[in-house]
Structure 1
Amino acid sequence: MGRADLRRARRRRGIRGFFTWRKLFGTFLGVCLLGIGSFIALYLLVDVPDEGNDLAQSQSNVYRYSDGSVIARRGEVNRDIVDLSDVPKDVQHSFVAAENKTFYKDPGVDIKGTARGLFNTLRGQGKQGGSTITQQYVKNYYLTQEQTVTRKMREVVIALKVDRQMSKDEILAGYMNTSYYGRGAYGIQAAAQAYYRVDAKELTVEQGAYLAALLQAPNQYDWAIASRTGKRLAEERWNYALDNMVEMKWLDASERAGMKFPVPEEPRPVAGLEGQAGYLVQLANKELQRQLMDVEGISAAEAEAKVEGQGWDLTLNIDKDRQKALEASVKEQLTSKLDPEERKVDGVVQAGAVSVGPETGRIVALYGGQDYLKHYFSNATRSDFQPASTFKPLVLAAALEEGATTQDGRPINAGTIYDGTSERPVVGSDIPYAPPNQDDVNYGDISVQTAMNRSVNSVFAQMGVDVGMRDVLETADRVGMNTGDLDPDPANALGTMTSSPLEMASAYATLANHGVQVTPTLVKKAEKDGAEIEMPDPVGEQAVSRNTADTVTSVLTGVVDDGTARSSVRDNPTRAGQQVAGKTGTSDDNQSAWFVGYTPDLVTAVGLFGEDPKTSRHTSLSGATGLLPGKGRINGGGYPAQIWADYTFGVTDGTARFDLETDQGAAVTPTPTTETPSPTPSETPSETPTETPTETPTETPTETPTETVSPSQPGRPSAEETPADPRPGRSPGDDDEDPAAAEDGAGFLR
């Protein structure tokens, strides 16, 4: 063997000698002993605190306008401690079943869960479950909600000691009395009153299981304000708790089978949150909670507990003058005309609006409903109604962004000619779809610009298929709508999904901001104990190209100048030269009506929604304010556009101009007032009607034709809606010989 071989052999023996099983075992044993020793030392050093944490001594939150003046103060803790004997045994068991089935047997700590939580905390992923009821009680009462290794270790030690010093019943009582349930309710007694108007001792097991389910995410699972997803998750959690009770022999299976979900009562009014204040406070809290979850890695329930009544000083982006102007416009243009005692249908009308600065992303005004104390659910953020044809501009945006072509290979742009025949089956879709136009009007060959002005359903249904509905939905998601879980159904091109004024304001603000993504934000600054938490930047990355966004803006000026919004917006007497882009939308069965529009410096989405005040079910707006029942629909070009115009033209001037980098659309391309259809589909003229107004503006609501979509069947055809005349005793057909009325509505649908 040579010297080199000898050296290699010695090296291998040396490596094997270093990594012998004895040394590895010794190292492992040493680490374990060190860990055990450290834990013993920690156990000896950490005592159970004599008093509870500051959560039991909550301070008021202060909410301010952007100028620093106070909107509201909120923070008196609603808590009433009760003995466990005052809580029915079945209700006690529902909490244990929902949170910690081994509670009565464990030592107060879940070793595996705690190890997982520590590991995730070290990785910066925050809490990932694993806490026992004892640990949660310790955290609620003795510690804080912060997610650090030190706090987690203290929680474990104190939990072990508390489990030895207190009975399980005492721990469970402490847990149920210190937990936060939403609606400002701390403890089981306050929660029982807040959700079911009963004392804790009167709760049923079904009600108790719902309150136990709330602890995972109080606001998200609150039935009064929960989204569809939130309600589904709340019911799943409720079922989980009851099924566990059956498994633990605490509930008979036959009794469980007959149980129905106990829908809670509507929230009670809270003093100091009258008018719009409550809606602003509600959204501000949600934004701060969401940021705390992201920054600190805490759960939704922990974030809510850290915000509600914890001494925060929040300055909002709300401009006091614009807020007052928006409220006044809704009252003057809509709510002052509603008389539920005279007309039952007037009681179903709900209005919501969000106004945003497109360059800053700041929410400068918000309207959530007539009064937070009367209608707890904010109409500004509700996402349970269809946006209808306000979605059509996003179909065009996707076409431009993707460089899409028609079925015969022509590029899609503002001048592309489409077949506007009513009920023409879309070509190229695996899902059959043939939507009618308003009054079943056949437009024949029509440009995209004119189709947007008239909101021609058959054109945009085909365009959605030409682009590819997956690309359309993905584009909509990028600019600010939540479309991630939608199927690529061609009906969605006409806005058959659901959305909120806040989402639509986000999408249109992104267009107004030349394609740079805008996430409307309410909270400007959040401070506590002298420290400020950094809020996310409302303005993000480029979502679509500037040319795409500017082209859509240019096209949308045509909707105002020669389309479904011209009567309420173009010819509004308060307009002082403002440039305007926007789109109307009205859903089938007239359950919602929209106008989303913008000037160069302000974006505002206005929505009207039909909601039965007793059942909260969607219902028709037709006939409200005295419009002819059945035919007197509340159209997007009517009250929503009137509210928008009265507000916008009152808080902006005509000096700001659109800075558009495009050569397409009504804003940049002069076109004749009448259009000659192209004899050959391959031509792509860029034509836009720009009629000079001939009618005299009127102060009475003049409803303009918009569009309808089906709320119940995604694939059901939709139709442009019939314009409604506000004058008693008249129908749309009565205006056929009235030149002014024809220009306002029915005439341009010939």
Structure 2
Amino acid sequence: MRSSGAERGVIRRLFTWKKILGTFFGLCLLGMGAFVVLFMVIDVPASGNEDARIQSNIYRYSDGSILARDGALNREVVDLDKVPREVQRTFVAAENKTFYSDSGVDLKGTARGLINTLSGKGKQGGSTITQQYVKNYYLTQDQTVSRKLKELIISLKVDQQMSKNDILAGYINTSYYGRGAYGIQAAAQAYYGIDAEDLNVAQGAYLAALLQAPNQYDWAVASAEGKKLAEQRWNYVLNNMVEMHWLGASERQGLKFPVPDAPKAAPGLEGQTGYLVGAAKEALEKQLVSDGTAADLDEAKAVVDAGGWTITLNIDPKKQKLLEQAVKKKLTSKLDPKERDVDADVQAGAASVDPKTGKVLAMYGGVDYVKHYQNNATRRDYQVASTFKPLILAAALENDSTTQDGQPITASTVYDGTSERPVVDGGKKVGFAPPNEDDVNYGDVTVQTAMNKSINSVFAQMGVDVGMDEVMKTAGELGMDVDGLQAVPAQTLGSMGASPLEMAGVYATLDNHGKKVTPAIVKSAEHKDREVDFPNPIGEQVISREAADSVTSVLTGVVDDGTARLSVREAPNRDGQQVAGKTGTSDNNKSAWFTGYTPKLVTSVGLFGEGAVGTKNESKQVSLKGTAGGGRVNGGGFPAEIWAAYTFGAMGSTSEFDLDTDMGAGVTPTVEPTPTVTEMPSDTPSAPETSAAPSTEAPTSEAPTEAPTVEPSDGATTEQPTPTATRPTFGIPEQTGSARDGGG
């Protein structure tokens, strides 16, 4: 006990209140002394930093030739007296209500920023307008303790040396507003097409709101949640102005959210150039975030738009020209918006990828970047329709899936192709019965023929046989963005959105024998002495080679005996080139696709029905029916024609697929059992008791006879049966792809 009491006595002698207080005050004095020393040592820089002086970026084709320059005209400094007083105040209300009375710093916010930096929690919050101006103009965006201390001291000195108006002018002229606009003058032009002096208070409040998250709040590209947040921020700014007696309550109530204009391209980005530059910039920005150079996309955009970059694309200028010519020859030259309203709604997008390297060799974003800002090659808002069917088959082969009767799913497995046949699982209907195009009943057909004719009822049942979770998993592994999508049977019709670039990557992975291909548009990016490292576009084996090659084998049948036969098989310059591919036509004919490949080149072409832009800069998806004076637009029409005109001109020499599969080449139609019509469709797909061996012949450019034959195992010759229908017989359509069912 004595020992314990003695220890407490020692502790009391060592840690008395006087000593604790003395230590505390000593540390305070030491900190104050250090601050005084730093205050004396750190001066306000004589000029702004390099990032404050925006430079041009240089974009090059893969061969080194110049594609474009941009960035030089994205910033214009204006005097504060050129900005209406009420607009000036929107920035104060948004960012720093005590601006006119504070000393230029927010000690609490700075301390919080220092703690966040030391603890690795990221961006600082709560800086004053003076501090943000100092960071933008004199310092950098680096999140370091030394930079924050400099910001604090320089802000105090700037507040002493400059007037509040000069600081505010510097702030609104150096801040980044999105759309490549630095400064309020460029922002006013970018969002409202007017000069800063013509802005009203509602527009000023939106520009002030943008500074918190310019990428997220840009109305033209914002998600539904982003638009909601943008309006909330806009309301916050105006409410603060009322609170500060800068805006009358009645005037505030009369203000409506000022939806900004649709983005307009900078000069010099006409034609396809703007689409290529935009895609390259986006890829670089994402990589800067990925490698930790930037904290988020807004910061990455600021870094890239500040200029000084040399960005080399993988785009081959010769193939790029060929793709543009193919679209013009096969589509745009036939459109006449004055004669037909629907022709004004047609948008085309395409992307071409080297399956061995992942390089994006050509891209078509739209008729002209300055006329249609959105890149049709990267947009993801239209259904992919039946181009999703090969992914269902890939999942079946990868997982060794079986039918409801326990038969292995292969190219020769027989399914019931009756239109609107109820999909079943374990003998129970799942509540999904999709129609085929024109409600054609095909009866019993092989998987090969079902792919050739794009029969919805077959693949809806196959998806359930495989398991929709496995189907969506395989789709994701192949390169589709399936995050947030439900694994339900309706997905078998390709009801999800994807871009031509995304689908080119998916099919490139199949072409590359199951090794993941992530399309890469940027070859290299350099800034001064620093070069950005991009990941290898070729990844790991995501599905087995046998599964991938078997899908390729089946897809050759779509070209030689299916929905793409007229446009691709008989193209005049095919010259015997082997081709695999799939057509697709979405619900109500709002989109039409052909994604196809040779051993050396994968290209996805999409047509999209885009109606007039509404009051909120949102386009409406409309039908393509009647385009160029025709009827329904199917994937085997314009998209496949564009594909063939481009691919066979870009290939150079013919090549053959090197396939590891026992499913044949899918060229000669497989034998089909004679279909029967029943009063009620069977609840389960039928599997063959015996089936003919699939063809192993090499693909040929010659057209099959009108009644193609195959060699069954017994040596007899059997004619290809004609499908039957419970309604008037339509025959096998030239191309499947329903305006109501997502056919081929």
Q: Deviations over 1:245-281 (max 9, x none)?
A: 5666655667656654322223345332121111111
Q: Deviations over 1:91-128 (max 9, x none)?
A: 33433444445545655444454455445545666536
Q: Determine the C-alpha separation between the residues in 2 that align with 1:652 and 1:236.
A: 53
1:681 paired with 2:686, answer: yes
Judge conservation of contact 2:60–2:68 (CA < 8 Å) in 1. yes
Q: How does 1:352-391 map to 2 (within 5 A)?
A: 352-391=349-388
| Structure 2 CA distance for partners of 1:683 and 1:584, relative to 1, 3 Å | same
| Structure 2 CA distance for partners of 1:228 and 1:70, relative to 1, 3 Å | farther
Show the counterpart of 1:705. Answer: 735
| Structure 2 CA distance for partners of 1:249 and 1:499, relative to 1, 3 Å | farther
What secondary structure sits across from 2:43 in the alignment? Answer: coil
Judge conservation of contact 1:663–1:669 (CA < 8 Å) in 2. no
The one-letter code sitting in structure 2 at the alignment partner of 1:621 is L
Q: How does 1:95-110 map to 2 (within 5 A)?
A: 95-100=91-96, 103=99, 107-110=103-106
The one-letter code sitting in structure 2 at the alignment partner of 1:720 is G
Show the counterpart of 1:488. Answer: 487
Show the counterpart of 2:296. Answer: 299
Question: How many percent of aligned residue pairs carry the same amino acid?
Answer: 62
TM-score, length basis structure 2: 0.84
Q: Deviations over 1:697-720 (max 9, x none)?
A: xxxxxx94232476xxxxxxx253
Show the counterpart of 1:518. Answer: 517
Show the counterpart of 1:186. Answer: 182
Q: Determine the C-alpha separation between the residues in 2 that align with 1:626 and 1:537.
A: 45
Show the counterpart of 1:288. Answer: 284
What secondary structure sits across from 1:366 in the alignment? Answer: strand
The one-letter code sitting in structure 2 at the alignment partner of 1:380 is A
What secondary structure sits across from 1:660 in the alignment? Answer: coil
Show the counterpart of 1:323. Answer: 320
Q: Determine the C-alpha separation between the residues in 2 that align with 1:154 and 1:544.
A: 53
Q: 1:211 aligns with which of 193, 202, 207?
A: 207
What secondary structure sits across from 1:449 in the alignment? Answer: helix
Q: How does 1:339-350 map to 2 (within 5 A)?
A: 339-350=336-347
What secondary structure sits across from 2:434 in the alignment? Answer: coil
| Structure 2 CA distance for partners of 1:421 and 1:523, relative to 1, 3 Å | same
| Structure 2 CA distance for partners of 1:253 and 1:491, relative to 1, 3 Å | farther
Q: Determine the C-alpha separation between the residues in 2 that align with 1:475 and 1:11.
A: 72
Show the counterpart of 2:670. Answer: 672
Judge conservation of contact 1:474–1:484 (CA < 8 Å) in 2. no
What secondary structure sits across from 1:611 in the alignment? Answer: strand
Q: Deviations over 1:386-415 (max 9, x none)?
A: 111112222223333344444444444433
| Structure 2 CA distance for partners of 1:656 and 1:256, relative to 1, 3 Å | farther
What secondary structure sits across from 2:435 in the alignment? Answer: coil
The structural deviation recorded for 1:161 is 2.9
1:71 paired with 2:62, answer: no
Q: 1:82 aligns with which of 72, 78, 81?
A: 78
Q: Determine the C-alpha separation between the residues in 2 that align with 1:249 and 1:302.
A: 34
The structural deviation recorded for 1:436 is 0.7
What secondary structure sits across from 1:650 in the alignment? Answer: helix
Judge conservation of contact 1:333–1:643 (CA < 8 Å) in 2. yes
Q: 1:418 aligns with which of 408, 415, 421?
A: 415
| Structure 2 CA distance for partners of 1:54 and 1:609, relative to 1, 3 Å | same
The structural deviation recorded for 1:61 is 1.4
What secondary structure sits across from 1:358 in the alignment? Answer: coil
Q: Determine the C-alpha separation between the residues in 2 that align with 1:695 and 1:201.
A: 73
Judge conservation of contact 2:174–2:182 (CA < 8 Å) in 1. yes
Deviates more, 1:24-33 or 1:373-382: 24-33
Q: How does 1:626-641 map to 2 (within 5 A)?
A: 626-627=629-630, 632-641=631-640
Q: Deviations over 1:300-338 (max 9, x none)?
A: 333222222512111111111111111111111111111
The one-letter code sitting in structure 1 at the alignment partner of 2:628 is T
The structural deviation recorded for 1:37 is 4.8
Q: How does 1:543-558 map to 2 (within 5 A)?
A: 543-558=542-557
The structural deviation recorded for 1:290 is 1.8
Judge conservation of contact 1:431–1:489 (CA < 8 Å) in 2. no
Deviates more, 1:640-649 or 1:605-614: 605-614
Q: Determine the C-alpha separation between the residues in 2 that align with 1:463 and 1:29.
A: 77
Q: How does 1:547-696 map to 2 (within 5 A)?
A: 547-615=546-614, 616-627=619-630, 632-664=631-663, 666-667=664-665, 672-676=670-674, 681-683=686-688, 685=691, 693-694=703-704
Q: How does 1:154-173 map to 2 (within 5 A)?
A: 154-173=150-169
| Structure 2 CA distance for partners of 1:622 and 1:258, relative to 1, 3 Å | farther
Show the counterpart of 2:716. Answer: none
Show the counterpart of 2:507. Answer: 508
| Structure 2 CA distance for partners of 1:469 and 1:138, relative to 1, 3 Å | farther
Show the counterpart of 2:714. Answer: none
Show the counterpart of 1:726. Answer: none
1:720 paired with 2:743, answer: yes
| Structure 2 CA distance for partners of 1:453 and 1:528, relative to 1, 3 Å | same
Q: Determine the C-alpha separation between the residues in 2 that align with 1:245 and 1:430.
A: 61
The structural deviation recorded for 1:374 is 1.7
Q: Determine the C-alpha separation between the residues in 2 that align with 1:21 and 1:634.
A: 88
Q: Determine the C-alpha separation between the residues in 2 that align with 1:635 and 1:35.
A: 74
Q: Deviations over 1:31-84 (max 9, x none)?
A: 776655544433332112121122343332111111111111223233333343
Q: Deviations over 1:560-606 (max 9, x none)?
A: 12211111112211112222111111112222111111111111111
What secondary structure sits across from 1:617 in the alignment? Answer: strand
What secondary structure sits across from 1:471 in the alignment? Answer: helix
Q: Determine the C-alpha separation between the residues in 1 that align with 2:479 and 2:245.
A: 48
| Structure 2 CA distance for partners of 1:164 and 1:433, relative to 1, 3 Å | farther
The alignment's C-alpha RMSD in Å is: 3.6
5+ residue gaps, structure 2, are 677-681, 707-732
| Structure 2 CA distance for partners of 1:301 and 1:660, relative to 1, 3 Å | same
Q: Deviations over 1:405-437 (max 9, x none)?
A: 444444444333333221123234997322111
Q: Determine the C-alpha separation between the residues in 2 that align with 1:20 and 1:686.
A: 94
| Structure 2 CA distance for partners of 1:97 and 1:287, relative to 1, 3 Å | farther
Show the counterpart of 2:729. Answer: none
Q: How does 1:404-553 map to 2 (within 5 A)?
A: 404-428=401-425, 432-553=431-552
The structural deviation recorded for 1:380 is 1.1
| Structure 2 CA distance for partners of 1:563 and 1:85, relative to 1, 3 Å | same
The structural deviation recorded for 1:297 is 3.1
Judge conservation of contact 1:225–1:377 (CA < 8 Å) in 2. no
Q: Determine the C-alpha separation between the residues in 1 that align with 2:348 and 2:516.
A: 26
